[in-house]
Amino acid sequence: MRIFFLALVALLFLVSPLSAQNGPVQTLLQDNRAKIIKSSRKSIQPTIDAIASSGLPQAQLVLQKWQAREIWQRKADGLFFYGEKAAPKAYRLFDFDSAEPVGEFPKKQLKLVKPNSGVRALIGTSLVQFQLNDPDAALRRAALLSIERDPAVELLAPLRASIGAESNVDILTLKQRLNTLLTIRFDTDPETRIAAIKEVAGDLGVDVRATLNPLLTTDLAFAEGALPESKNIAAQRVVGEDITAAAAYEMLVAANRAPTVTTANEIRKVLAAHIVGGQVGGAAVATLDDLGARIKAYDNLAASGTVPPRIAEVEREATLASFVFYDLYKEPAKAVTDAARKTLEGIQTRVGFNQALDLGLDALSLASIYFLAAIGLAITFGVMGVINMAHGEFIMMGAYTGYVVQQIIPDYTISLIVALPAAFVVTFAAGVAMERLVIRWLYHRPLETLLATFGISIAVQQIAKNIFGTQARPLTSPGWLDGAWVLNDVVSISYIRIAIFVLALAFLTLFLFIMKRTRFGLETRAVTQNPRMASSMGINPDRVNMLTFGLGSGIAGVAGVAIGLYAKVTSELGADYIVQSFMTVVVGGVGNIWGALLGATMIGSLQKGIEWLNPSNTLAAQTYMIIFIIIFIQFRPRGVIALKGRAAGD
């Protein structure tokens, strides 16, 4: 009796694991064993669908392990398990139904199921329906991104089912938007789709346009006699105007609705293939020197049944006249395409308006950069009359000052706060030194001033190369300047450009305050208008010129820090802006800060407008802009806002 009891216990011990391994999941896997082992993208979809729709709680686990290549088949009995590495050449297997370990097995006793990337993508799509209700919000969000990248009709139902239970407000919004887009594409009820289309009216999202545009795609089709009333036709095509006669006839030939036209070249080839004894079609080859003779020989061959009858041009035209050609919407529901077209027309109107707004913001941003670069030149050239070709090098010096400060102070926010006044001090000092050593001896000698400052420009560039090298140096913006202010999918502007715009306004305000509300500004204006009279009133013109030149140079240095935040900092940085700076001052009006502002706005807008018309060639934009300015100066040699009074005549 005791022996019988022990035998029964041993039998139960052996049978229990086997019973667990033959649960519903294992049965389902065994029913699809051949397809799972083969894992072919062409034939695996029914197996994936069977697992996903089985209703088994382990279905998600099976698909996850399959996608991760963690399913093993035991060679001894063909059963499937998921496993983990237990030793260098052994794996611990787990039963899908019970999640219990079934033991450790050498790798040679197992076979790994290896789905390729295509099969794994299909499994990932099927897993989305499980992930939509996953407790982990990150997985739910990832599932929505997966649906957005690869939308499919079978995902619409699980997406809708998951909306009611969603507790995260942001994810709920994403689900509702995605449900609307999938409804437009895949729902079977036209009224539901039309309601969804109306819901996105005015939405500028790229995903909305990407959903609506396919509804209006067409195929070229034809019908005999008249246009079919049962079809959703976009427009009729007129042969010879909207479609060539040759292309239209080729469609009929491809659809076996018309015989092939025999061209002159085809006639020549057919005759050459049927030459017998120097003759073909009852005529000597030597006599077939014109098309008429070749046509007659071909017709003779056709009459004898050797070749197909020839189709003449007249017959082709008659055949085409019996057919109508039209663009057929791929979407069969006319009400849906009408709603989609109306909604898209409204969206395109708003897109055009927003593109104009975006272009205007770009132009304003570029204008603020040019104004920052030119405001210092407006002082030295516009007020003092000094042609300073080294002005761009002060911009470059300011940018390098910002770079050096960042090497000392690693915090980008603090380093930027320090760099702005530091750049002003460095370039102010350099400007004063340049005025004292060179410029003061060359007043009222413009040609000598131009040559001298041009030589200084080359020298400063070479010094910068010797110190910092020829490679671009990074001037990194603080984290709070990263990214852009996005109004919608069409309009956006980077925070760096907004900051430069604000900085330009700040310097405009500061400059106006200095010129209008301070003694230095009063003295500067006095020296500009009449140096001798100012001198007789106790003003030192030498000192005023020195400080004015230093102020213009210092502002150029601050502009260099701002420009260096988004442009490459090299020794040629200033050279990239010197031409625009001079054009800004000349176009706006020499000696007028408001003119410089207006000139920067005009040049920035003109350049962006030309780039918009010819986006593939930015160099052309600069060329056209210079040509325009040359023509403009012929009519307004003193700029838009010309100086009045005594200073204007100097």
> pLDDT (tens digit, 9 = 90+) per residue, 481-536?
888 888 877 788 888 888 888 888 888 888 888 888 888 888 877 877 777 887 88
Question: How sure is the predictor about 224, in pLDDT bands with cuts at 50, 70 and 90?
Answer: confident
pLDDT at 6 over 50: no
Percent residues over pLDDT 70 in the chain: 92
Tokens matching residue 46 = 């029914």
For the stretch 443-452, contacts whose Cβ atoms lie closer than 8 Å and that sit 24 or more positions apart, written own/partner, are: 443/385, 443/386, 443/545, 444/385, 446/385, 446/387, 449/386, 449/387, 449/388, 450/387, 450/389
**H/E stretch holding 594:** helix 593-613
Integer angstrom CA distances of residue 426 from 138, 299, 452: 51, 95, 21
For range 109-113, the mean pLDDT:
89
Contact 337, 331 (CB under 8 A): yes
pLDDT value of position 312: 67
Question: How sure is the predictor about 620, in pLDDT bands with cuts at 50, 70 and 90?
Answer: low
pLDDT value of position 637: 66
Higher pLDDT residue, 494 or 263?
A: 494
CA pair distance 434, 229, nearest whole angstrom:
84
pLDDT value of position 392: 87
pLDDT at 629 over 80: no
pLDDT value of position 647: 45
pLDDT value of position 338: 92
pLDDT at 422 over 90: yes
pLDDT at 544 over 50: yes
Higher pLDDT residue, 558 or 483?
A: 558
pLDDT at 3 over 50: no
pLDDT value of position 650: 47
CA pair distance 158, 135, nearest whole angstrom:
16
pLDDT value of position 196: 93
Contact 529, 645 (CB under 8 A): yes
Higher pLDDT residue, 297 or 260?
A: 297
DSSP characters over 60-117: HHHHHHHHTT-EEEETTT--EEEEEEEETTEEEEE-TTT--EEEEEEGGGEEE----H
pLDDT at 16 over 60: no
Q: Which residues contact 228 (CB under 8 A, 6 or more apart)?
A: none
Q: What does DSSP assign to residue 319?
A: H
CA pair distance 430, 511, nearest whole angstrom:
20
CA pair distance 573, 419, nearest whole angstrom:
17
pLDDT value of position 429: 94
pLDDT value of position 405: 93
Question: How sure is the predictor about 591, in pLDDT bands with cuts at 50, 70 and 90?
Answer: low
pLDDT at 639 over 80: no
pLDDT at 191 over 90: yes
Average pLDDT, the chain: 83
CA pair distance 306, 435, nearest whole angstrom:
99
pLDDT at 125 over 60: yes
Least confident of 8-17, 446-455, 510-519, 525-534: 8-17
CA pair distance 557, 502, nearest whole angstrom:
17
For range 422-442, the mean pLDDT:
91
CA pair distance 190, 335, nearest whole angstrom:
7
Question: How sure is the predictor about 640, in pLDDT bands with cuts at 50, 70 and 90?
Answer: low
Helix, strand, or coil here: 233?
A: strand
pLDDT at 610 over 70: yes
Instruction: Give CA torsion, residues 413, 418, 420, 426, to 10 deg.
Output: -150
CA pair distance 87, 82, nearest whole angstrom:
16
Which residues sit opposite 81 in a β-bridge? 72
Q: Give the CA radius of gyration of the chain.
A: 40
Contact 392, 567 (CB under 8 A): no
Burial class (CB in 10 A: 0-12, 13-18, 19+), 462: exposed
Higher pLDDT residue, 270 or 176?
A: 176
Integer angstrom CA distances of residue 437 from 394, 431, 595: 16, 10, 30
pLDDT value of position 9: 38
Least confident of 9-23, 462-476, 617-631: 9-23
CA angle 232, 234, 236 (to 5 degrees): 110
Residue 74 φ then ψ, to 5° = -80, 125
pLDDT at 14 over 70: no
Contact 618, 611 (CB under 8 A): yes
